[in-house]
């Protein structure tokens, strides 16, 4: 039997790239998703060179745009008759509030709305193989300030780490609610640790300097990717709905365990996604 088919977003930097290479090395058929064609090609070449022998595929999409998420999903469904794992790994922290051409705050659009929509569009294909959805969360969720009436920080002061942490709480709540609504799938999320990546360097000199100085003390991307690879490939990995740190199931914050909040967030997000149905 051939290896599992793993679609991984945000696969051209940091833990996404490290995970893509390690998954390929272990014999998985990897479909790499990134925003820049050159980086996608470079990561794919590295994954092919890892020696696992399975095919490596390349997909380019800007996941901040719902139309691009839908185009990617259609392309993936056409290219891959089977999808065993969707790794929702793409994410970023932006240090100022700006909106996309669709009117979404960038952090919310990329970190929460994109994985929600992509998972919905691929759910049937994933279910056909009893698939897994693995989402990259963070312990930054512990500082979240989730207001269901202000999901995109239109009325509150924009504080980059608080906004980022709130989207990571959304990832955890999404995982919890997906596990409830889609028992045919295994939905998990994980905290990778603080990793040496391009995270936080999207804009803002202060953040870039701080992260550069801290670099030697941060985890390697390969170590940060371990839980992702484990959750994607190990049949005895964590049960559906779990939040994982270092390959162990942990309790998220009280908000991350709130089933009512998870359901309400799902319904709000579903309504937003439906606004951009085409």
pLDDT above 90 coverage of the chain, percent: 85
CA atoms of 225 and 235, how far apart (whole Å): 17
CA atoms of 67 and 142, how far apart (whole Å): 31
Q: Which residues contact 209 (CB under 8 A, 6 or more apart)?
A: none
DSSP output for 230-274: HHHH-TTSPPTT-EEETTEEE---TGGG-HHHHHHHHHHHHHHHH
CA atoms of 136 and 15, how far apart (whole Å): 10
Radius of gyration of the chain (CA): 17
205 three-state secondary structure = helix
What are the pLDDT digits (tens) for 165-192?
999 999 999 999 999 999 999 999 999 9
In Å, how far from its chain's centre is CA 189? 9
What are the pLDDT digits (tens) for 46-100?
999 998 999 999 999 999 999 999 999 999 999 999 999 999 999 999 999 999 9
**At residue 198, does pLDDT exceed 60?**
no
CA atoms of 76 and 121, how far apart (whole Å): 10
What is the domain partition of the chain in residue ranges?
5-275
In Å, how far from its chain's centre is CA 240? 16
pLDDT of residue 213: 42
State phi, psi for 196 to the nearest 5 degrees.
-75, 95
**At residue 199, does pLDDT exceed 70?**
no
Could you tell me the two tokens for 131?
Answer: 């698939």
Please tell me which of 102-111, 187-196, 213-222 the model is most confident about, judged by mean pLDDT.
Answer: 102-111
Walk across the sheet containing 29-34 and list its strands.
56-60, 29-34, 5-8, 85-88, 132-136, 186-191, 243-245, 248-250
Q: Would you tell me the crossing angle of helices 37-49 and 14-25 to the nearest 10 degrees?
A: 30
**At residue 206, does pLDDT exceed 70?**
no
Strand (E) or helix (H) holding 137:
none
Lowest mean pLDDT among 21-30, 145-154, 212-221: 212-221
What are the pLDDT digits (tens) for 116-130?
999 999 999 999 999
Question: If you average pLDDT over every residue of the chain, what do you get?
Answer: 92
**At residue 237, does pLDDT exceed 80?**
yes
Q: Is 196 in contact with 218 (CB distance < 8 Å)? A: yes
pTM for the whole structure: 0.91
**pLDDT band at residue 26 under the 50/70/90 scheme:** very high
Q: Which residues are identified as catalytic?
A: 164
For the domain spanning 5-275, the CATH number is: 3.40.50.720
Q: Would you tell me the crossing angle of helices 259-275 and 114-127 to the nearest 10 degrees?
A: 100
Q: Which residues contact 206 (CB under 8 A, 6 or more apart)?
A: 95
pLDDT of residue 226: 95
């Amino acid at each position: 039997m051939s290896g599992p088919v793993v679609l991984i977003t945000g696969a051209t930097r940091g833990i996404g790239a490290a995970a893509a290479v390690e998954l390929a090395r272990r014999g998985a058929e990897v479909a790499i998703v990134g925003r820049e064609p050159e980086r996608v090609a470079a990561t794919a070449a590295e994954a092919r060179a890892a020696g696992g022998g399975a095919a490596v595929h390349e997909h380019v999409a800007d996941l901040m745009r719902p139309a691009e998420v839908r185009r990617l999903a259609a392309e993936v469904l056409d290219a891959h008759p089977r999808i065993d794992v969707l790794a929702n790994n793409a994410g970023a922290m932006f240090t100022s509030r700006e909106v996309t051409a669709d009117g979404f705050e960038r952090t919310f659009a990329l970190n929460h709305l994109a994985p929600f929509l992509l998972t919905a569009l691929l759910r049937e294909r994933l279910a056909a193989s009893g698939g897994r959805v693995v989402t990259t969360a963070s312990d930054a969720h512990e500082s979240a300030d989730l207001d269901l009436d202000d999901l995109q920080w239109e009325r509150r002061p924009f504080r980059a780490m608080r906004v980022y942490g709130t989207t990571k709480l959304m990832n955890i709540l999404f995982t919890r609610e997906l596990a409830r609504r889609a028992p045919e799938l295994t939905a998990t999320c994980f905290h990778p640790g603080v990793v040496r990546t391009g995270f936080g360097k999207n804009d803002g000199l202060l953040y870039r300097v701080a992260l550069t100085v801290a670099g030697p003390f941060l985890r390697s991307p390969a170590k940060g990717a371990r839980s992702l690879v484990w959750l994607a490939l190990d049949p005895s990995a964590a049960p559906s709905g779990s939040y994982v740190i270092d390959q162990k199931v942990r309790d998220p914050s009280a908000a991350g365990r709130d089933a009512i909040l998870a359901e309400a967030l799902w319904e709000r997000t579903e309504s937003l996604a439906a606004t951009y149905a085409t």
